[in-house]
Amino acid sequence: MFKKALAGIGAGALLLGMAACGGGDGGSEGGGDDGSLVIGFAQVGAESAWRTANSTSIQEAAKAAGHDLKFVDGQQDQEKQIAAVRDFINQQVDVIVLAPVVETGWTDVLQEAEDAGIPVVLADRGVEAADEALYVTRLGSDFAEEGRKAGTWAAETFAADADGTRILELQGTTGSAPANDRKAGFFEVLDAEGLNYEIVDSQSGNFTAEEGKAVMETFITTHGLDGIDLLYAHNDEMGLGAIQAIEEAGKVPGTDIQIIIVDGSTAGFQAGVDGKLNYIVECNPAFGPQLMDVLESVVAGDEVEKFTPVEEGVFDATQFEAELPNRQF
């Protein structure tokens, strides 16, 4: 096991996250002398195919690297994640990986980890800027960029829509980084491109198919779908749930209403091949091996970037069929 780091130091106070700063008063030794780590991982939950693939990627990578991964499924509940982090602190793990379900409310527990000399690495989602000094680094998606990619396609696709583009938005979990940033990036581009648009409705479907479908059903029952041009769903599950609701209402998804989803699961691409949606912004969950490298660097005291984005693409209808066999989740 690597020596504990960061005791008594404002871990994130450096723009380049300085991973380990000596010390180690706060924690006991554990793990092996072979460089293996004891890692506490507080995952968001199991709300989507993306999330399951992300958990698998991290679990498999930890195993392959010979590290002991203590995995807790937070069930989309911040209190459960906070309890898990406190438990990891009590166990004096070498490093804590947190995928925060929402952006706010982490200051106290992150401070506790720092006081204990245990570095915290964020995986996938981020926390509010005020807490930036309390974690070492984040590895995950640039959610605002994902939103911009979706916005760029929408602005090009509807540029000639003189009547104005009427948009429904299915947001992810309220207060989460991907919901906040995918929304911001999307509308930033529409505004910058001068698209004439109206947000007819924007609600959270909590990143699940059930809630995405329920929100769409309620909207259709109340307003109908006539005159709605575009559905922007912040993930595959909500988009696929909404597609079901649209079909049950006798409309043709992908034709009567154009649809953008974010993630790029096999099910999402299959819906694209079936003509039920129009654009996919990829969110890549398979960063387990990269995360292990980051954790090893952090515990070894190497300098790491404050944020490392994972690589992600975009796909339109001309690409769905060719890309489908390449999907890993």
- Contact set with ligand AHR (CB under 6 A): 47-48, 50-51, 124-125, 178, 207, 235, 262-263, 283
Pick the closer one to ligand AHR by CB: 39 or 281: 281
Q: Least distance in Å: CB of 101 to ligand AHR? A: 9
Pick the closer one to ligand AHR by CB: 215 or 220: 215
Q: Least distance in Å: CB of 233 to ligand AHR? A: 10
Torsion angle defined by CA atoms of residues 284, 285, 289 and 292, in that order, rounded to the nearest 10 degrees: 120
Q: Least distance in Å: CB of 133 to ligand AHR? A: 23
Partners of 111 in the beta sheet? none
CA distance 274 to 240: 12
Pick the closer one to ligand AHR by CB: 166 or 182: 182
Query: What phi and psi, each to the nearest 5 degrees, are found at residue 133?
Result: -75, -10
Pick the closer one to ligand AHR by CB: 206 or 258: 206
Q: Least distance in Å: CB of 61 to ligand AHR? A: 18
Q: Least distance in Å: CB of 168 to ligand AHR? A: 18
For residue 50, give both structure tokens.
Answer: 């993306």
Alpha helical stretches, state H, the chain: 49-65, 78-91, 107-115, 143-157, 177-192, 209-223, 236-248, 266-273, 288-300, 320-323
CA distance 229 to 258: 6
Q: Establish how many alpha carbons lie within 13 A of residue 284's alpha carbon, considering only the half-sphere containing its beta carbon.
A: 18
Alpha helical stretches, state H, 158-287: 177-192, 209-223, 236-248, 266-273
Q: Least distance in Å: CB of 140 to ligand AHR? A: 7
Q: Least distance in Å: CB of 231 to ligand AHR? A: 16
Q: Least distance in Å: CB of 82 to ligand AHR? A: 18
Nearest Cα to Cα of residue 262 among 247, 244, 240, 243: 240
User: What one-character-per-residue DSSP string does 36-60 give?
Assistant: --EEEEEE--S-SHHHHHHHHHHHH
Pick the closer one to ligand AHR by CB: 165 or 176: 176
Pick the closer one to ligand AHR by CB: 76 or 152: 76
Pick the closer one to ligand AHR by CB: 132 or 312: 312
Torsion angle defined by CA atoms of residues 190, 191, 197 and 202, in that order, rounded to the nearest 10 degrees: 80
Distances in Å between the Cα of 111 and the Cα atoms of 55, 114, 131, 138, 214 are 25, 5, 9, 17, 39
CA distance 316 to 233: 15
Pick the closer one to ligand AHR by CB: 27 or 212: 212
